[in-house]
Amino acid sequence: MTGFGVRGGTPLRWSLVVPVKHLGRAKSRLARAAGGMREDLALAIACDTVEAALACPGVAAVFAVTEDPRAGADLTGLGAVVVGGEPGTGLNAALVHGAAAAGRRRPGTGVCALSADLPSLRPDELGRVLTAAARHGRSFLPDAPGVGTTLFASAPGHPFTPAFEGASRARHRDGGAHELALSDVASVRRDVDTPEDLCDAVELGVGPRTRELWELVADGCLRPQSTP
């Protein structure tokens, strides 16, 4: 068997690059739900995402790009490789910076950018996405609303050209990447930017850290409030 998915008889494995903002700036739209626990919630979501990714057999390593010391310590404790020194010129530049580190540490793997805000992420669903991505040179997975992107993958020998933020689905498609059309990977598509997104993620089932924070904030902030 030949193709992107198999190299020398071995299925392709992936280095995942996960960008984690400084917690002081992360997930600002969750503030109306989480209040003073916003930073804790943002970190919980990132940690649940990384832990699930590391449990996927197709993942060789997770490279977390962050300048936040607290996030870096927690992600290192989970087994991620923390990459500092990002250029500070935006998300895509940070991803390219992380991909360069991945290439040095894990040559021969595919490189895949994964959103850090996937608290429902299931290793088996991520595995299905990576298996599909291995059949293409460059590919991407659209987010649940169908506007953005939660995953962008480049097989070995193909350029790593992420175009995240805003209407990134169209940019990735127009840039020649293959759109992965999979019907059974909801946990890989459900990123969280708003309280409503978080409610949807909870319905799918979230990781333990996000669940704990959810239980603390849901009654007071996320459920409909009666008018006095």
Q: What is the pLDDT of residues 62-110, one digit of tens each?
A: 999 999 999 999 999 999 999 999 888 899 999 999 999 999 999 999 9
Q: CB–CB of 178/29 below 8 Å?
A: no
pLDDT at 60: 98
pLDDT confidence tier of residue 228, bands split at 50, 70 and 90: very low
Q: What is the pLDDT of residues 146-181, one digit of tens each?
A: 999 999 999 999 999 999 999 999 999 999 999 999
Q: What is the pLDDT of residues 200-222, one digit of tens each?
A: 999 999 999 999 999 888 764 45
Q: What is the pLDDT of residues 7-37, one digit of tens each?
A: 556 789 999 999 999 999 999 999 888 889 9
pLDDT at 220: 46
Q: How far apart are CA 185 and CA 189, in angstroms?
A: 7
- Listed in sequence order, the residues at least 6 apart from 12 whose beta carbon sits closer than 8 Å to its beta carbon are 4, 5, 6, 58, 109, 110, 130, 134, 155, 156
Q: CB–CB of 176/158 below 8 Å?
A: no
Any idea what DSSP says for residue 149?
E
Q: What is the pLDDT of residues 35-60, one digit of tens each?
A: 899 999 999 999 999 999 999 999 99
